[in-house]
Amino acid sequence: MAATASSLASQFSGLRREVLSREAAPSTALFVRSVRSRIRLPASCRPPRGVVAMAGTGKFFVGGNWKCNGTRDSITKLVADLNDAKLETDVDVVVAPPYIYIDQVKQSLTDRIEISAQNSWIGKGGAFTGEISVEQLVDIGCKWVILGHSERRHIIGEDDQFIGKKAAYALSQNLKMKAFADSISNWTDVVIAYEPVWAIGTGKVATPQQAQEVHLAVRDWLKKNVSAEVASSTRIIYGGSVNGNNSSELAKQEDIDGFLVGGASLKGPEFAVIVNSVTSKKVAA
Ligand code: PEP
């Protein structure tokens, strides 16, 4: 069953989450993320199982959100560092530069790393001053879009309904099927990220156990509300002060399928360490 994007936003009430969505068509992909209030863990939560293989069946995923940072020069350096980095092959790696540098990054960054925007408009472009449409993002080679980041919720004032519309439109462009315009019909192209607000940009990271508990609760929610298959295959990633020192312990957790990284994604070598923390999962398995 497919939940509509807006109903997804409502049903996740009580959850803090981000949804990252990638299009099904080979040419494009979208990051969509939606963050809500705090999660209440179901009584049935199993205790975290130390270090084991991934509970999810999706590939490890690491996204770097550059936010409103960078200049032409600093981005040239960051791209050069990323191009030099040795990245494990079995990880989906995505970076989200500010809009105005996307083209520069697209022209210079290795194809190994895909590119995301940090936001998109709720529908087709037109008389919407200051907005960027999904079609424009696809046109310049963006594969993902981030929607519903807590900074857009808390600072800009975006709500679930608005974010749900954006997710639906972004997904509709991927699928090119109008009938699915308001649906998340292909969960293989959706990544959910959990980010405790208190951990974003603060240097205070959730403990691996805390993160695991919430990831497990999100997976259980998917199981109950969508399907067991979707619960298993959807990547659930952690964000909030992830860095090169803490990523490996977090990565060992069964239900952590990757990371959404802010500050540390601005340093190429450190971002590479985070990407390569997938090896902790392999060793643990
Ligand atoms: C974020 O903003 O999504 C984020 C995780 O930031 P940081 O890594 O800097 O906490």
Closest C-alpha to 164, from 12, 17, 4, 18: 4
Q: Is 195 a catalytic residue?
A: yes
Q: For residues 82 and 272, is the Cβ–Cβ distance under 8 A?
A: yes
DSSP characters for 60-99? Answer: EEEEEE-TT---HHHHHHHHHHHHHS---SSEEEEEE--H
For residue 33, what pLDDT is reported?
A: 34
> What is the value of pTM for the model shown?
0.82
Q: Select the more confidently predicted residue: 40 or 93.
A: 93
Catalytic residue among 149, 158, 213, 254: 149
Q: Which residues pair with 190 in a beta bridge?
A: 21
Q: Whose CA is nearest to atom 3 of ligand 1?
A: 262
Tell me, what DSSP letter sits at residue 152? Answer: I
For residue 147, what pLDDT is reported?
A: 80
For residue 90, what pLDDT is reported?
A: 92
Fold of 5-41+53-284: TIM Barrel (3.20.20)
Q: Which residues pair with 22 in a beta bridge?
A: 144
Q: Where are the domains of the chain?
A: 5-41+53-284
Which pLDDT tens digit goes with each residue over 199-212?
999 999 999 999 99
Whether the per-residue pLDDT at 264 is higher than 90: the answer is yes
Binning pLDDT at 50, 70 and 90, where does residue 166 land?
confident
Question: Which tokens is 56 given?
Answer: 């999810």
Q: Is 213 a catalytic residue?
A: no
> Which pairing describes strands 258-261 and 235-239: parallel, antiparallel, or unpaired?
parallel
Ligand 1 pocket: which of 242, 259, 270, 273 to mutate (most atoms within 8 A of CB): 242
Which pLDDT tens digit goes with each residue over 223-251?
988 889 889 888 899 999 999 999 999 99
Catalytic residue among 18, 114, 158, 195: 195
| Ligand 1 closest atom vs CA 261 | 8
For residue 57, what pLDDT is reported?
A: 62
Residue 65 alpha carbon to ligand 1 centre in Å: 7
**pLDDT mean over 146-168:** 86
* CA atoms of 202 and 96, how far apart (whole Å): 20
Whether the per-residue pLDDT at 95 is higher than 60: the answer is yes
- Mean of pLDDT over the chain: 79
Which pLDDT tens digit goes with each residue over 8-32?
444 443 343 444 544 322 221 234 5
* CA atoms of 208 and 201, how far apart (whole Å): 17
